[in-house]
Amino acid sequence: MTKKKLAYLITTGIVSLVMIAGGIADIVQPEAVVKEINKLGLPLHMMTLIGGWKVLGGLALARPRMQPINEWAYAGIFFDLTGAAYLHFAVGDVAGVAPPLVFAGLLVASYRLRPA
């Protein structure tokens, strides 16, 4: 296995797991998630929809041979992560800006490292 393929598998695996876990949390809405969503000013009913999209996107990333769907997953996850960073910034939660941007960086790395 080449270093490039290993880096691709690691970055993709991390982003996929984060999206699936985050999506499940958005759907189940434990107290910590509800508190965070309220802080951002988002309606809770939207989180069920966004959570479902996160789970589907994470699963699509894990299946790289599904080319058109995989491309849409990369775009959707990028929009989700950069949107999350912006929302944290907009409400003055500067500490909350970095985590989604770090995962967006891993997502971009995964995209750049993906097999032809």
Alpha-carbon gap, residue 74 to 61, rounded angstroms: 7
pTM: 0.92
Alpha-carbon gap, residue 47 to 1, rounded angstroms: 39
Residue numbers of the domain that contains 61: 3-111
Per the domain annotation, does 84 fall within a domain? yes
Mean pLDDT of 56-85: 93
Per the domain annotation, does 116 fall within a domain? no
In single-letter form, the type of residue at position 100 comes to P
pLDDT in tens, 24-55: 999 999 999 999 999 999 999 999 999 999 99
For residue 102, give both structure tokens: 């770090």
CB 73 within 8 A of CB 61: yes
Angle between helices 3-28 and 67-90 (to 10 degrees): 60
In this structure, the chain runs to a length of 116
Per the domain annotation, does 28 fall within a domain? yes
pLDDT at 115: 85
